[in-house]
Structure 1
Amino acid sequence: MKGICRGTILHRMFETTTPPKPKFFVIIGESETHVIGYFFINSNINNYVQRRKDFYDMQMPIKRNEYPFLKYDSFIGAHELNMIDKSLLAEELASGETSIKGCLNIEDMDRLLEAAKASDLFSPYEKDTYFR
């Protein structure tokens, strides 16, 4: 898919969040079956995540001055790998429902991948498929 690769930051409406809202997310990898794995970008760390050390340790800060589309210094929520079908993402990009906002810089991408590879939160399959 043109313009989409590891580290691409996108913006779309998520009906599955409570409440439904538009969110930024960063592509982390892709499976052979064309499912894209991603992490949400959040402006704050929610209370549930703060109470779980293993989740909290996977909140990677990123700075607004390096990502001007962000309103605040934010966090990549690397405690939960989310999935989206590549064909759905392609349709949403074509229709404008999802937009490309930027790309994670190399230092942040390296830090994110190293943390994800070392984390016990992810299965060997997830690590081999999305973080290699």
Structure 2
Amino acid sequence: MIGIGAVFFLFIEEFQKKKYFIVLGEDDHSYLFATFYVNTTINYNFVENQEVEKLHIVLKKAEYPFLKYDSFLNLSEHFPKTKISLEEEFKKDDKCLVYTLTDEQLHYLRKAFKENPIIKGKIKKKYRFFDN
């Protein structure tokens, strides 16, 4: 259930609303998330240059059934979340797990993240992007 490829819809205090998150990597204690900005266009508040703009990948509603409309996944940002904290969120409301990526979707997104020149190699190594 919880693991690489899981898609969560969680309330974020900082934004005072729910956001989608995709688990793209893990180590022994934490998961690595990509933030999922559900916008019909790229949110240029998060784009400093053309390299970062290229890291906003369109996800089509037809291919990702939990979406309400075509959306952008921002692969320029990432952050860890402990496994314990995610398990606690899941225990509070197991409906927060809204989708599990197909093998093809997961391979595509992990490859795009791995090839991301902005993310440091030590982060990719820690979250096992070079193991497969």
Fold-level similarity (TM above 0.5)? yes
Distance 1:114 1:90 in 2: 26
Alignment match of 2:107 (pick from 94, 107, 110):
110
Q: How far is 1:16 from its partner?
A: 2.1
| 1:23 lines up with 2:19 in the alignment | yes
Q: Which amino acid aligns with 1:73?
A: D
Question: TM-score, with normalisation over the residues of structure 1?
Answer: 0.85
Q: Residues 109-128 of structure 1: matches in 2 within 5 Å? A: 109-128=106-125
2:68 is matched with 71
Q: How far is 1:97 from its partner?
A: 7.4
1:32-71 CA distance string (max 9 Å, x none): 2x11100122222211334521211111111112222211
| 1:54 lines up with 2:58 in the alignment | no
Say which SS state the counterpart of residue 72 (structure 2) adopts: strand
Aligned length: 127
Q: How far is 1:27 from its partner?
A: 0.2
Distance 2:68 2:124 in 1: 31
The sequence identity of aligned pairs, in percent, is: 28
| Backbone CA RMSD of aligned residues | 1.8
Say which SS state the counterpart of residue 88 (structure 1) adopts: helix
Structure 1: runs of 5+ lacking an equivalent = none
| 1:36 lines up with 2:31 in the alignment | yes
Structure 2: runs of 5+ lacking an equivalent = none
